[in-house]
A and B are shown apart, each in its own frame.
Chain A
Amino acid sequence: MFVGRAGICGALLFVLFCALFPAQRVWAQQEPPYFVTYSSALEEPGNLEVENQNIAAAPKNANGFFAPTVEFEYGTTAWWTTEFYLQGQKTVNDSAVFTGFRFENRFRPIPRDLWVNPVIYVEYEDVNAADKSFLEITGNTSITTLQVPNAELRNEVERSIEGKLILSSNAKGWNFSENMISEKAVNENEPWEFGYALAASRPLSLTASSRRCTLCLQNVSAGAELFGGLGTRYTFGLKQTEQYAGPTVALNAPNGFTYKFSPEFGLNDNSAGVLWRFGVSYEIQQFRDWFRRSK
């Protein structure tokens, strides 16, 4: 009952993935196991990654919820990745609603691998206040807003432009990523809102195996994420913001799927106790070749 219709949709989507894309050996080995934080890893040009990312939580004093997000990430060029999100949520003892879409682009301005690699992120989002995807946190928010019924929240639509400065480093197998987030509503007179996300991760083995295997250490990467809001232009700081931190792990299965899991723990009274995240993604290599004749 908790998962309800949204859960069934997620399961159907997964089955659809398996049916549409026959097992092939594809690994997204470059991508760290993060849910919120972006690294400098862009989608390889011509590849399309389809991801179903889900979040479930049962916050104190509010109904539990399940919020799936579907992402389509396409590598336009080696320095430009574009992504489209569709998201919804189901709240226990309440309704299931579609909460909106996001369209984002990431650009890597420096065509070299540096000690710190900058990436520019620009996003347009059209989501209503019933959104519970926690794809990022900005401004002054509190988990108590989730007590409001979906019927009221869904009427409050926010269209906003979001920018991120992504800094990412790779050293001795480790990835360290820092995101600085700023967001401005374009349909409401609200101040600039800020947030952040930090993460570090590492594959469990830094060398590839000479034999094919599924549960080899090289296919598993683990790390941790810390993210939260930083208030607005007028209330900059950690006061009255949500903050989360938790471990994250990913398995790049040789059949082309990547599975990710993370429990994220609320660090203050404004946050939910735990956000349970899990995701599955599939990368279609050279998707654009489907539409052009072989030379």
Chain B
Amino acid sequence: MRGRVLVYALLLAGAGTCFAKDYSGWLKKVPQKDREQVNPYAGQAKAIAAGANLYHDNCAKCHGENAEGRDGRPSLRGEDVRKATDGELAWILKNGQMFKGMPSWGGLPEQERWQLVAYLRSLNLPEPAAPNPTGGQ
């Protein structure tokens, strides 16, 4: 009896693992060539503003107006996005995670996807280092 319960528990755990929405796994799937791509619009104010428009038109309804995440859909201000390279962000935009709910945005022109990446990067800039109270190095 206890053995059967254990088997059911393992099966349930296995199913849970399979169907759990682990949004972070995608980083491992990005090919090295894509990971190293450089955003031609990185840091450009106009591209960031255009990316913000694109974000609010296409992404905000799922990820929230301020990219804070919404209704179980992930925040875009988290550690994953902060750590990801521009190439990795461009890859996830192009391919999506279709079996986990994120559609492919491969139909958007590549330039617009880079503008979106520039905007996402602007939301996830590393926090400035706290000033040293002693004034030393």
The answer to whether B115 and A208 have CB atoms under 8 Å apart is yes
Contact B53 A295 (CB under 8 A): no
B58 and A295: CB pair below 8 A? Answer: no
CA–CA, A211 and B112, complex, Å? 14
Please name all residues of chain A whose beta carbon is closer than 8 Å to the beta carbon of B107 when the two chains form the complex: 29-32, 39-41, 170, 175
A1-9, A109-117, A240-248 - interface stretch: A109-117
Chain B residues with Cβ below 8 Å from A211 are 49
The total of chain A residues at the interface (CB under 8 A) is 42
Q: Is B108 an interface residue (CB 8 A)?
A: yes
- 8 A-B residue contacts at CB 8 Å? A29-B112, A75-B103, A78-B97, A113-B106, A203-B109, A212-B53, A218-B112, A295-B72
A210 to B53, CA, bound (A): 7
Chain A CB count within 10 A is highest, among B54, B101, B109, for: B109
CB neighbours of B103 from chain A (8 A):
42, 44-45, 75, 78
> A154: CB under 8 A from chain B?
no
Determine the distance from Cα of A172 to Cα of B101 in the docked complex, in whole angstroms.
26
- In the bound assembly, the distance between CA atoms of A172 and B108 in angstroms comes to 10
Do A210 and B50 touch across chains, with their CB atoms under 8 A apart? yes
B96 near A: Cβ within 8 Å?
Answer: yes
A-side contacts of B111, CB under 8 Å: 173, 206-207
Question: Given A45-B103, A111-B97, A113-B95: A209 and B50 within 8 A (CB)?
Answer: yes
Residues of chain A within 8 A of B115, CB atoms compared? 207-208
Interface of A is mostly: loop
Query: Which A171-207 residues sit within 8 Å CB-CB of chain B?
Result: 172-173, 175, 203, 206-207
**Is B42 close to A, CB under 8 A?**
no
Known: A45-B101, A208-B115, A295-B72. 18 other contacts (CB 8 A): A29-B57, A30-B105, A30-B107, A44-B103, A45-B103, A78-B96, A78-B100, A78-B102, A111-B99, A113-B95, A117-B106, A206-B109, A207-B109, A207-B111, A208-B51, A218-B112, A286-B62, A294-B71
The residue that B108 contacts in the complex, of A29, A46, A79, A209, with Cβ under 8 A, is A29
Q: Which of A44, A207, A295 contacts B112 (CB under 8 A)?
A: A207
By a CB distance below 8 angstroms, the chain A residues around B61 are 285-286
Q: Are B46 and A108 in contact (CB under 8 A)?
A: no
Whether B83 is near chain A, meaning CB under 8 Å from some CB there, is: no
Task: Give how many A-B residue pairs fall within 8 Å (CB-CB).
Answer: 99
B87-101: contact bitstring with A at CB < 8 Å (1 yes, 0 no)? 000000011111111
Interface bracket on B = 35 or more
Q: Which residues of A contact B50 (CB under 8 A)?
A: 207-210
Decide: A173 and B109 in contact? CB cutoff 8 A: yes
A77 on the interface (CB 8 Å rule)? yes
Q: List chain A residues, Cβ under 8 A from B110.
A: 172-173, 206
Residue contact A25 to B101, C-beta cutoff 8 Å = no
B66 within 8 A of A: no
User: Does B104 interact with chain A (Cβ within 8 Å)?
Assistant: yes
Contact B53 A208 (CB under 8 A): yes
Say whether B104 contacts A78, CB under 8 Å.
Answer: yes
For chain A residues 234-291, which have a beta carbon within 8 Å of chain B? 285-286, 289
Q: Mark A29-61, 1 if CB is under 8 A from B, else 0.
A: 111100000011110111000000000000000
Q: Nearest Cβ in chain A — how far from B88, in angstroms? A: 15
With both chains docked as a complex, state the minimum distance between the C-beta of A144 and any C-beta of chain B, in angstroms.
39
Q: Roughly how many angstroms separate A294 CA and B99 CA in the complex, as a whole number?
A: 22
- Residues of B within 8 Å of A111, CB to CB, are 95-99, 104
A206: contacting residue among B49, B57, B62, B112, CB under 8 A: B112
Once bound together, how far apart are the Cα atoms of A29 and B54, in whole Å?
10
Beta-carbon contacts of B42-73 to A below 8 Å, as 1s and 0s? 00011101110110111001100000000110
Bound together, the chains give a CA A175 to CA B50 distance in angstroms of 22
Q: 7 smallest A-B Cβ distances: which pairs?
A: A30-B107, A113-B106, A210-B49, A111-B98, A206-B109, A208-B50, A285-B61
